[in-house]
Each structure stands twice: as C-alpha cells, then as structure tokens.
Amino acid sequence: MRIWLKDADRRPDPAPVKTDDRKAVLVGTGAWVVALVALLVVMPTAEGDNRWWLLTCAIGVGLGLLGLIYTHHRQR
C-alpha cells in the first residue's frame, strides 16, 4: 500500500452523484417534530426542570426549516 501516488498513477475522480438533500432534511425535521410532540405529551407529568428539552426540540425544528429553505434554493 502506497501513501502517496503520482498524478499519473491515480484513477480519475468519479462523477458526482445527484441527490435530493431535501428528503434528508425533511426526515431530520420530522424526527424533531415527533420528539417535540412526545415531550409535550409527557412534560406535564414530568418532575424537575427539564423544560430545556422542549426548547432543544423547537430549535431543531426551526433549524430544520431553515435547512429545508437552503436546500430548496440550492437545488435550483
């Protein structure tokens, strides 16, 4: 195994694969929404100061929506 190859010995780079990144962002945002709904159901019965979990899920949803807007504009 050689660590460094000459340019003449290298194989050409593969062509980039076209993907739809919006699907991945939608799945991640959907997971944050599910977690947020689950916490809203469980939180009224929870003890202690665990309200930061709700804020974390809400920020995850917000960032997911921003990511969806970004990937939509980048796709064009």
What are the boundaries of each domain within the chain? 28-75
| Matching residue, tokens 């960032």 | 63
36 touches 54 (CB < 8 A): yes
pLDDT surpasses 90 at 1: no
| Matching residue, tokens 């010995």 | 9
| Residue 9: predicted pLDDT | 80
pLDDT surpasses 80 at 34: yes
**Average predicted confidence (pLDDT) for the chain:** 89
| Residue 69: predicted pLDDT | 95
Q: Kindly indicate the confidence band of residue 63, based on its pLDDT and cuts at 50, 70 and 90.
A: very high
pLDDT surpasses 70 at 75: yes
| Residue 37: predicted pLDDT | 96
